[in-house]
Structure 1
Amino acid sequence: MFATATKNLLEEVDGDGDLLPVTSLNDSIRILSLVVKRKRSWLWQKNKYLPSDFSLDDVLLGDMPIKPVVTETDFIKYNGTYSDNIQGNLEGNFGHANVNMGGKDTSKLQSSLGSLKKEELDVQKLLQDSKDRVMDMSHSLVKQTMEKRREVFGVVKERIVTTQPCSVIEEVQQGGQCGGLLSLFSPRSTKVSIKENGSLSKDSNVTLEIPPHTVLAYGLMELVVKLNGHYELCLMSDTKGGFEVDGPAKKLVGLGAPVHASQQSCIKQELDRLSDHFQKLSSLPASTRSSLLQHLTSIMQDPEAVSMLETVLNQMCVDDESPDMLEAVGTECASQHSKAILELVGQSSRGEEDPPTDKSPSNLHAVHLVISALDEMTDDGLAVLGTCCSPELLLVLELLVQCVTGSGEMSLPPLTTEVWESIEGLFASANIALSRDADTLKTDIDQQPGYLPLVLCIAIRGLASLAVFDVV
């Protein structure tokens, strides 16, 4: 909720992407705070930023503290209201099942942040004060960050802060109904199995009071750190930081040729390269696949939970670490679903017959791929996809992925107008336009920078690999 509010703020005021949103009220973001930038393992992922409890001064040798000079200016006065209304009905005959289902999800997020101020570091003064200073290479944070190979330091040089008490209010109304023999995945809820006509509803209204001087966003300068502890500030935005290494860097997984949204063949090539991951998921026992899909559907309604779960899986898959189970991932409900996902993956991994290789990924890596793709989707796209996770709808979405990566044309499936509006919105969130002409559906990838079309195709194919169809 707080993370969504800060992200919305930056989408309105920071089109160049120079600022980073604060995702948690627990994050300690001060001027000169050290933030760890983690480079990602998949080519289509954005970097992640992990605030630390230390400042630049804490990791330097010497007793002379650096006292930052900060200027404060008025930024903007910000009040925003964001509403989503997702609804749809599905009627059709899929194999042995006659299906009639519907769902509605209405949400409103109101951010009343008031007057905001910007605090900016005097970089010239910092250069003078830190001249000839050396980093303590034995400091725990420095050692742990350097060992990761994919992580670099950034120093907070500016902040956007509140100046008065303010609030973020979220109102959610959810409901679903289903008739026939079908399992309904209702938004932000657990799986509900219904054999006769039934319904499900849930309302919530949450107000988050934010005190003055709360940091909402920040900007960084990266550091280049030498083996002898000397460091340089990256003063230009196109200059990247890092640690000097005395040996070969650790090989990263999942790297390949860049994919451009205008190249269908490149997207197909990347999906083919990841086919072993999807095959791994579809080979899981039906009960495990069904449970994983159920829990994934639930956490997809909480983007922050998806992001935090991806961080944990990244530590396990890429860094070969075994972090503690998640104590808090988004809401309490999201935390429970995330823990269930880790437990299911752990159980299935212990049951693997052959050890994983580069060509045969583990169950853990296969699930990590899907979570990573979900984490890169837009919030709107993620919310809509979460309402389309019945096996029958995933089958339709999988056919659309084949259309996107193939001829770009397919026969139009017999779905209601409301369902098609939702699906069109889902693909539009990934810069893919759907158009209908009589009984033919056409797909067209908009030539926009980034990897959103590929990310959506990976997410759909991964979720479809978990779908289980009842045989009557």
Structure 2
Amino acid sequence: MFATATRNFVEEVDHGGFLIPVSSLNDTITLLTMVVKRKRFWFWQKPKYLPTDFNLNDILTGDSAINPVAVTTDFIKYDGTYGDNIRGTVDASFAQSSVNLQSSESLKLQSSFGSLKKEEVDMRTLLETSKDRVLDMSHCLIQQTKEKHRQVFGIVKERIITSQPCSVIVEVQKGGQCAGGLSFCGPKKPKVSLKENGSLSKDSNVTMEIPTDTTIAYGLIELEIKHDGQYELCLMSDTNGGFEVDSPAKYRLLGVSGASVVAGENVRLCQDLEQLNDHFQLLSALPVTIRSSLLQQFTNVLQDEGAISALQNVLEQMCVDKRLALGDVAMTASQKENIQAILDLLEQSGQVESAQAGQSTSVLTALHLISSAIDEMTNNCVAVLGMCCSPAVLKAIELLVQCASGKGELPLSITGLTALTGDIFKKTELLFACCNVSLKKDKDTLKTEINHQQGNLPLVLCIAIRGLASLAQCFN
């Protein structure tokens, strides 16, 4: 809840800007704290920021410390209330199961940060006092960071802090009904069947008290580090940090490179998706039982906000580090169960080894592609997507993806669009709107239009839909 509150705060006061939300109260962030910026697997993913227990002085050679001038000013007074009311019905038929879900959820999050202050380093003083200083290249933090070619150093140059005790309050009301038959099969597990009609309701009210001088957001300045430990501060926003040893062959992020900026939004989206087409074809070519089970497990994961991030982290670890260690990723018991089920299905596909041997297209990278795209979506968007995972609906909204990346128009008479009626169309309209794509009916025509906003939400929406639809093909 703290991470959600800080993310909402940054979205409101610095959308698309410089500030980074603090994700954990355990992170102690002060001026000059060393933060590792980790580039992600796909080019459109936001970087991860990992605060460390060290500051710049800890990794410098010499005995004299850098003590920059810190300037503290009033920032803003912030009290935010966010609420969602989500209702939906899902009728899904998989190869080995069918399920009907009716759910409702009411969420209210109130962030009362009160009067906030900004503390920032005087850059002129920092430049002067750090001139000719050298980093200790033998320091364990530098050694471990340099080994990962997608990681660079940054130091905290400013932070937004609380000036008084404040609180974050979350109120949740959930209700739902479930009817259907579920069947799970695995090579080493007995078959388990469940047929049940039931209902569930849950209310919760949680208050988190936050002390004075808590950092809720911060800004970085990256370091460009030379072989001998000399470093430069990257003062311009378009200048990236890194280690000089990486400069002859910079790490190239996987994924698509993006079309020319002179091209239209539809053209760029079409070209980006075309370059990822091999991943979708690979999924659609899997045996129907594996595809059915994978879609079922992804539907389960979509019901849990934290499960998508956990799954994405596990799959990325397998793609990048060539190893599997569920214990390295924080997750609940139910999340671990769902993720393990996906990994079991991945093993059944017989292509884990091909990905870990360096092949760019494999079932592993394809599933990581889907989970990474979903992880970039807002919580609202993920909740609505979870209500659109029946094969018929996925087939229909995949046609809308083709529309958005094509001419932007489709006749309503197309057979595949028949599933988009009534409540389903409203959910689809909301799903696309959450990702900056407008969806409208104009007489006998359905039109899509990509809104010109910063970010890659239209692309991640299309990747998620095409990926899930690839798992839904050829069965009802």
Report the TM range for the smaller structure's normalisation.
0.7 to 0.9
Match of 1:38 in 2: 38
* Paired position in structure 1 for 2:276: 274
* CA 1:323–1:17: 2 relative to 1, 3 Å: farther
Q: Matches of residues 7-406 of structure 1 in structure 2 within 5 Å? A: 7-15=7-15, 17-89=17-89, 102-177=102-177, 199-245=199-245, 247-258=248-259, 262-301=264-303, 303=305, 305-318=307-320, 320-322=321-323, 324-326=325-327, 329=330, 333-342=334-343, 344-345=345-346, 347-348=347-348, 350=350, 361-406=361-406
Contact 2:318 / 2:356 at 8 angstroms: preserved in 1?
no
Query: Which residue does the alignment assign to 2:461?
Result: 456
How big is the shift at 1:458?
0.2
Say which SS state the counterpart of residue 463 (structure 1) adopts.
helix
The secondary structure found in structure 2 opposite 1:413 is helix
**Pairwise CA distance, 1:269:** 2.6
Q: What is the Cα deviation at residue 302 of structure 1?
A: 5.1
Q: How big is the alpha-carbon RMSD for the aligned residues of Structure 1 and Structure 2?
A: 3.5
1-structure distance, mates of 2:94, 2:335? 31
Partners of 1:154 and 1:221 within 8 A in 2: yes
**Equivalent residue in structure 1 for 2:438, among 427, 433, 438:** 433
How far apart are the structure 2 equivalents of 1:384 and 1:40? 26
Distance 1:339 1:178 in 2: 23
SS at match of 1:28: coil
- The secondary structure found in structure 2 opposite 1:392 is helix
Query: Which string of whole-angstrom CA distances, capped at 9 and with x for unpartnered residues, describes residues 29-54 of structure 1?
Result: 22111111122332322222221222
Deviations 1:62-121 (A, max 9, x none): 1222234323222222211111112234689999x9997643222111112222222212
Whether the 8 Å CA contact 2:355–2:365 is kept in 1: the answer is no
* Structure-1 residue corresponding to 2:189: none
Report the 3-state secondary structure (helix = DSSP H, G, I; strand = E; otherwise coil) of the residue aligned with 1:34: strand
Q: What amino acid maps onto 1:443 in structure 2?
A: T
8 Å contact from structure 2 (residues 61, 135) kept in 1: yes
Q: 2:188 corresponds to which residue?
A: none
Structure 1 unaligned regions, length at least 5: 184-191
Q: Partners in 2 of 1:268 and 1:329 — Cα distance? A: 36
Secondary structure class of the residue paired with 2:326: coil
Q: 1:121 to 1:348 in 2, by over 3 A?
A: farther
What is the CA–CA distance in structure 2 between the aligned matches of 1:325 and 1:196, rounded to whole Å? 31
User: What's the CA shift string for 1:195-254, capped at 9, x where partnerless?
Assistant: 786544443333333232221100111111111110011223333222212643344322
Q: How many Å apart are 1:9 and its aligned residue?
A: 0.6
SS in 1 for 2:438: strand
Give deviations 1:112-136, integer Å, cap 9, x for gaps.
Answer: 2222222212323322332221011
Tell me the secondary structure at the aligned position of residue 157 of structure 2.
strand
Q: 1:316 to 1:139 in 2, by over 3 A?
A: farther
Aligned to 1:422: 427
Contact 2:91–2:390 (CA under 8 A) maintained in structure 1: no
Contact residue 43 and residue 254 of structure 2 kept, 8 A: no
Q: Distance in 1 between matches of 2:35 and 2:86?
A: 37
Q: Report the CA distance shift for 1:51/1:295 in structure 2 as closer, same or farther (over 3 A).
A: farther
Distance, in Å, in 1 between the alignment partners of 2:101 and 2:175 is 11
352-361 vs 309-318, which moves further: 352-361
Cα deviation code 1:150-171 (max 9, x no counterpart): 2211100111122333222222
Q: Are residues 66 and 199 of structure 1, via their aligned partners in 2, closer, same or farther at CA, if it must alter by over 3 Å? A: same
When structure 1 is superposed on structure 2, of 292-301 and 64-73 the one drifting more is 292-301
Structure-1 separation of matches of 2:91 and 2:367: 31
Contact 1:60 1:133 in 2 (8 A): yes
Q: 2: CA distance between counterparts of 1:339 and 1:94?
A: 19
Secondary structure of the corresponding residue to residue 142 of structure 2: helix
Q: Matches of 2:100 and 2:376 in 1, distance apart?
A: 32
| Of 354-363 and 164-173, the range deviating more from structure 2 | 354-363
1:90–1:419 contact (8 Å) kept in structure 2? no
Supply the distance in 2 between the matched residues of 1:165 and 1:271 (Cα, whole angstroms): 48
Q: C-alpha displacement at 1:440, in angstroms?
A: 3.3
